[in-house]
Structure 1
Amino acid sequence: MTSSADGHPTRPFPTPIAKRSLFGEAARSISALILREMSTRYGRTPGGYIWALLEPVGMIIILGFAWSLVAKTPTLGTSFFLFKATGFLVLQMFLITANQVGRAMKFSRALLFYPRVTWLDAVLARFFLNILVTTLVTAIILTGIIHFEEIRTVLDFVDIFLAMTLAALMGLSVGMLNCYLFQRIPVWEQVWAISTRPMFLISGVIFIYEDLPRVGQDVLWYNPILHITGIMRDGFYPLYHPTYISWLYLGIWIIAPLLAGLLLLRQYHRDLLNK
């Protein structure tokens, strides 16, 4: 504390060292929460990380075989497994991220009473761990399908990376808002679980937008995940170029829930912890 010319005490501005120290504390808190999450979510379950890989693999295999029995060729390309995987893995990135981020404060509730652990640390820890695991699982599955079936295609890694990033950011955005709603309105967690079950059927996992009738296109266009699956498939199929994708619409879906969730949690996180 220093004094001004008139003798009144003044508070010094934070120095770069203080800022780096604050950033370092946040990084340490997030790292510790990630390690705790890893040991809790994967370390206590037989098989651990293996289930994170086997679950989507099993679903893709079932979908691939089922559709191969009713159709001679997939809608795009020659592989039923690749077609289903490019849709399912995008949806999985969104849903898992939204669910895990939405339950972040509830999972780390006991730790949030410590002054050095903030609600934002808990949210970011779950987000970073989820995208790390889900991205690794996605890369393993898609690489395995391409090599196993000897698929020759020209991959657009920009579109693939963009699609997975958008799915992760939308999961963070919706999850941030859910993090508030799950605690403020407990029944919302059940409503969310029920309302997201049809996502598998309406998000482009088993079809492409262009194959829908006009009425279906007009309705399902408002599902933002359908736009992201279109971007993902644009990266795997050189001849497929979806024209229905709206970047403005995707931006609204990412920014609006994120801002709402951040503002609500910043204002009411103490009330939520003391409920």
Structure 2
Amino acid sequence: MTTAVKMDTAPTRPAPLQGPPLQPRFVAVRSIVALMLREMASTYGNSPGGYLWAILQPVGMLLLLSVAFSLLVRAPALGTSFILFYATGFLPFDMYGDIAGKIAGALNYSRALLSYPRVSWIDTILARLLLNFLTLLMVFCIVITGILLTDDTHTTIHMVPVIQGLVMSALLGLGVGLCNGVLGGLFPVWSMIWSILSRPLFLASGVFFLYESLPRFVQDILWWNPLIHVTGLVRRGFYSTYDGTYISMTYGYGVALVLILLGLIFMRAHYKRVLER
């Protein structure tokens, strides 16, 4: 007795085509862009006014400084416009401080997303650096353009030293932020210590004065502050008569790169411990 075996003759569907795996560089770029969009939505999208506040805050500070100092002195140290003089000092300093603070808190801000294998700690750092640098650069351009349109300053801008100064400011903020991110994560008391130590920087970075107007012994001390080279570079681009012979791009960029290198080394070694705290 033979048993017939019934064969399934239904046609088999071909396996779906799978594209090549994403290249690591493309994955990193996609992660960085996603992190930037997330922060844009959470930082500026949920607050009334959004990006408008990023412009109004420095404008309000500059107006306050201009009115206050115009009552004390007859003319600014350079040019005839108080608000332009203080803008060329305050805006680069504000870029440094804002980027340093954002980078220091990058790991905690994206702590939940770092559990995904495609999001790395360096992605969170780069996303915050790019977003905040571009935002502050936009604020710088808008504020300076507004000043030049409303105040008859007869200013001829030389872009090279201005860009050099702003890039130096951003790199210093990145280096300080990386180091503070590690130290503050491992030793929480460090954040309070740094807050106290860094308060004199606002007065010692040339926002209100020119380096050359200080006594010699004060110049010898303040020269070691890289931020005074930042403000000098930016002002060199706005005032054609200002030489700023003390400015050293080698020193300013050198300090920034050393801090970035140290910050990356220690962040790579200890970022897991920082996230666990």
SS in 2 for 1:109: coil
Cross-structure match for 1:161: 163
SS in 2 for 1:77: coil
Match among 25, 28, 32 for residue 27 of structure 2: 25
Cross-structure match for 1:93: 95
SS in 2 for 1:70: coil
Cross-structure match for 1:110: 112
Deviation at 1:218, TM superposition (A): 1.3
CA distance in 1, matches of 2:276, 2:207: 41
Query: Structure 1 segments of 4 or more deviating over 3 A?
Result: 17-20
SS in 1 for 2:45: coil
Cross-structure match for 1:78: 80
One-letter amino acid of the counterpart of residue 135, structure 1 = L
Cross-structure match for 1:251: 253
Larger radius of gyration: 2
CA distance in 2, matches of 1:119, 1:270: 9
Write out aligned runs for 1:192-207 (5 A): 192-207=194-209
SS in 1 for 2:47: coil
SS in 1 for 2:208: coil
Q: Gapped runs of 5+ residues in structure 1?
A: 1-16
The percentage of aligned residue pairs carrying the same residue is: 45
Q: 1:259 to 1:126 in 2, by over 3 A?
A: same
Q: Is the 8 A contact 1:103 1:182 kept in 2?
A: no
Deviation at 1:49, TM superposition (A): 1.2
What CA deviation, in whole Å up to 9, does each residue of 1:94-120 have, x standing for no partner?
000011011000110111111100000
CA distance in 1, matches of 2:87, 2:53: 17
RMSD: 1.5
Write out aligned runs for 1:259-270 (5 A): 259-270=261-272
Q: Gapped runs of 5+ residues in structure 2?
A: 1-18
Q: 1:241 to 1:25 in 2, by over 3 A?
A: same
CA distance in 2, matches of 1:142, 1:28: 33
Cross-structure match for 1:211: 213
Q: 1:135 to 1:19 in 2, by over 3 A?
A: farther
CA distance in 2, matches of 1:24, 1:263: 24
Deviation at 1:272, TM superposition (A): 2.2
Cross-structure match for 1:14: none
Give the TM-score taking structure 2 as reference length: 0.90
CA distance in 2, matches of 1:38, 1:204: 31
What CA deviation, in whole Å up to 9, does each residue of 1:234-273 have, x standing for no partner?
0000000011112222132111111111111111222222
Give the TM-score taking structure 1 as reference length: 0.91
What CA deviation, in whole Å up to 9, does each residue of 1:179-209 have, x standing for no partner?
2112111111122222222222111000000
One-letter amino acid of the counterpart of residue 247, structure 2 = I
CA distance in 2, matches of 1:45, 1:191: 30
Q: Does 1:152 align with 2:143?
A: no
Cross-structure match for 1:271: 273
CA distance in 2, matches of 1:142, 1:191: 34
